[in-house]
């Protein structure tokens, strides 16, 4: 069962981010990488926001990261969320993609247990047949280390 209820809007890929969403549907987290300054960036764009190079490609990253910050949603910002329990929206700093942060959710942590700095790892949440969103689960092994 998906973290958020059916009926939530789904990603509408653009020319710039189609490869990102296609990667997700193959359970691969791919992030834009600049061959000019050798740094990752997100959201995807045809040129690097730091050095303006158009020599950019996609690199697969691990999907491990930490909760940079988060909020707990109690209000139904979309009609499909009416009656849904509080949910988190987390900003996850990826371990191996420079300062790239993804807006996502941590699916297995209750609102009162969310913590900044919590290690997390990717969880491919199938929101409809063959459509996966990059969400996260608490990385228990890393937390104990």
**Interface residues toward Zn ion, by CB under 5 A:** 34, 36-37, 48, 50-51, 53
Q: 3-state secondary structure string, 85-109? A: CCEEEEEEEECCCCCCEEEECECCC
Residue 43 C-beta: closest distance to Zn ion, Å: 15
With beta carbons less than 8 A apart as the criterion, state whether 111 and 74 touch: no
Nearer to Zn ion, 34 or 102 (CB): 34
Residue 47 C-beta: closest distance to Zn ion, Å: 8
In which residue are the tokens 């329990």 written? Answer: 85
Nearer to Zn ion, 39 or 137 (CB): 39
Residue 49 C-beta: closest distance to Zn ion, Å: 8
Nearer to Zn ion, 6 or 45 (CB): 45
Residue 133 gets which letter from DSSP? Answer: E
- Map residue 128 onto helix, strand or coil: strand
Give the ranges where the chain is alpha helix by DSSP (H): 18-25, 140-144
Residue 53 C-beta: closest distance to Zn ion, Å: 5
Rg for the chain, CA atoms, rounded? 16
Nearer to Zn ion, 10 or 53 (CB): 53
């Amino acid at each position: 069962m998906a973290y958020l209820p059916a009926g939530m809007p789904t990603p509408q890929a653009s020319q710039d981010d189609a490869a990102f969403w296609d990667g997700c549907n193959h359970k691969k987290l791919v992030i834009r990488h600049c061959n000019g300054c050798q740094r990752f960036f997100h959201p995807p764009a045809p040129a690097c926001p730091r050095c303006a190079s158009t020599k950019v490609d996609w690199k697969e990253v691990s999907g491990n990261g930490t909760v940079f910050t988060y909020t707990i949603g109690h209000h139904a910002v979309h009609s499909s969320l009416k009656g849904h329990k509080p949910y988190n929206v987390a900003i996850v700093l990826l371990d191996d993609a420079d300062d790239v942060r993804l807006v996502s959710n941590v699916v297995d942590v209750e609102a009162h247990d969310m913590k900044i700095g919590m290690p997390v790892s990717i969880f491919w949440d199938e929101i409809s047949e063959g459509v996966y969103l990059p969400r996260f689960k608490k990385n228990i092994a890393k937390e104990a280390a």
